[in-house]
Structure 1
Amino acid sequence: MPPPPPPLPERISAVAVLDDPARRALYELVAQSAQPIGRDAAAAAIGLSRSTAAFHLDRLAEAGLLAVEFRRLSGKTGPGSGRPAKLYSRAAGELSVSLPARHYDLAGELMAAAIGESSASGEPVLEALARVAAQAGRAIGAGSDDLGSALEANGFEPREQGDGGIVLGNCPFHRLAQAHTAVVCSLNYQLLCGVAEGVGDTAHTIIADPDAGECCVRAVPGADSPQ
């Protein structure tokens, strides 16, 4: 299962860093280079002063878009070899912003895992998908404080109802669910059942409800909910 993305405000701030044309040009230069690039080379390639290039490169690194390393370009070591150069390369992590929140990467990970396990064991792929989705949900729930915060952190936009139930204002798998409704809604149901189990929520029962709102699943008051 892919790691959870950084909070939305952090991702928006990182993308906003690229709004500056010079910064965007430096990012593209570094991203397209097979080798890490130093400040002097970057400044010369873009036509900026070294200090300006350094400022923008460091800003990109602070935003998590570039990785930094220090290395002596001459290959010499010891006294007189000079200070190591600061070199920049594209950061290994991925960054995406979608509004409303979409998590197609999670759906892809679960489907790929299910296909792999089905191929290895002979288990029907839809059964494997239900199992791995529930496992992923339990892991998400185990790392959350409560059901509402787990749903919020994963883009479901939970909305509490007067009866203690929860409807979901967003489907993170919307486009997939439109094209492959039965498969994706089943995945979603098993995932959220796992989330509720992992977080230890006994006040709600997860049910499939295609008419619940923007998502085909909702949480209704369970046996342990306050009356």
Structure 2
Amino acid sequence: MANLDRDITGIGALADPVRRELYRFVAAQPAPVSRDEAADATGMARHQAKFHLDRLQADGLLQSDYARTTGRSGPGAGRPSKRYRRSSDQIAVSLPPREYELAGRLMADAIAESARTGTPASDVLGRLAHDHGHDLVAALAEERPPTDAATALALATAVLSDHGYEPREADGEVYLANCPFHTLARTQTQLACAMNHALIRGVADALAPHCPRTRLDPDSGPDPSRCCVVLSAGGTAPR
């Protein structure tokens, strides 16, 4: 899970108190700051500030550009200085992985389309979730089309693993040990499970003609955080 690895790296960078102090200073400024400005504000040597600022940039917490801080241009204006600002990327870590931002975006889009067209919001949400799931695997399936039901299921499992579902095999089926919408599913079970089912059906449908079967299994057994959708290799049973 590349995003999780990136976010953990970024948050880990802030465990260092020097980098944390530099990050807080840069993030609090209304405009990009130079290495000299950051060093002066935090009371550290310029070379030390440079090292830690560049590490914060490498870890995705800061972004940089170059500009002349004198305000002049042309000959004699001096070399541009590297300036830093807080990255526009959002970093968050949830263990196990959760996707509440995705759920919020899908539901907001569904509500907006429902208000515009009169289509029930739940119907719109199901279509949007299905399309999102389809998009997750479509390019990969086109690049490496599955040759049979087993490889299609393996590809679906790999994609769902990358998105935090934590697939597990048991008794010829694949269950999903983690529900990325767990808290939502506890309070709005029918809504969250229908959205999850539609999303995973989208993943499966992108693997035609060897689409894995999907079914709802609301009994999560001993693990209440398990996803309610179960997959199996394609066959004649209804999906």
TM normalised by structure 2 equals 0.87
Report the 3-state secondary structure (helix = DSSP H, G, I; strand = E; otherwise coil) of the residue aligned with 1:19: coil
Matches within 5 A, 1:53-72: 53-72=49-68
Alignment equivalent of 1:102, drawn from 93, 98, 105: 98
Query: Which residue of the other structure, out of 211, 216, 220, is the alignment partner of 2:228?
Result: 216
Q: Per-residue displacement from partner, 1:130-162 (whole Å, max 9, x unpaired)?
A: 111111111112144510111101100011224
RMSD: 1.7
Cross-structure match for 2:170: 161
Stretch deviating more after TM superposition (211-220 or 81-90): 211-220
Please name the residue that 1:33 is paired with: 29
Deviation at 1:73, TM superposition (A): 1.1
Distance 1:43 1:200 in 2: 57
Q: Decide whether the 8 Å contact of 2:185 with 2:192 is kept in 1.
A: yes
Q: What are the superposed Cα offsets for residues 63-119 of structure 1, whole Å, 9 maximum, x if unpaired?
A: 111000000011211111101011000111111111101011110111011011101
**Residues 1:201 and 1:176: Cα distance change in structure 2 (over 3 Å):** farther
Gaps of 5+ in 2: 142-154
> Secondary structure at 2:72's aligned position in 1?
coil
**Aligned residues with identical type, % of pairs:** 42
Counterpart AA for 1:218: V
Displacement, 1:11? 2.1
Q: Which runs of 4+ in 1 moved over 4 A?
A: none
Q: 2:48 aligns with which of 43, 49, 52?
A: 52
- Distance in 2, matches of 1:71 and 1:140, equals 39
Structure 2 equivalent of residue 147 of structure 1? 156
Q: Residues 116 and 203 from structure 1, CA distance in 2 versus in 1: closer, same or farther, beyond 3 angstroms?
A: closer
Mapped partners of 1:23, 1:201: distance in 2: 52
Match of 1:175 among 164, 183, 200: 183
Query: Unaligned regions of 5+ residues in structure 1, if any?
Result: none
Distance 1:224 1:207 in 2: 13
CA separation of 1:218/1:212 partners in 2, compared to 1, >3 Å: closer, same or farther?
A: farther
- Determine helix, strand or coil for the equivalent of 1:156: coil
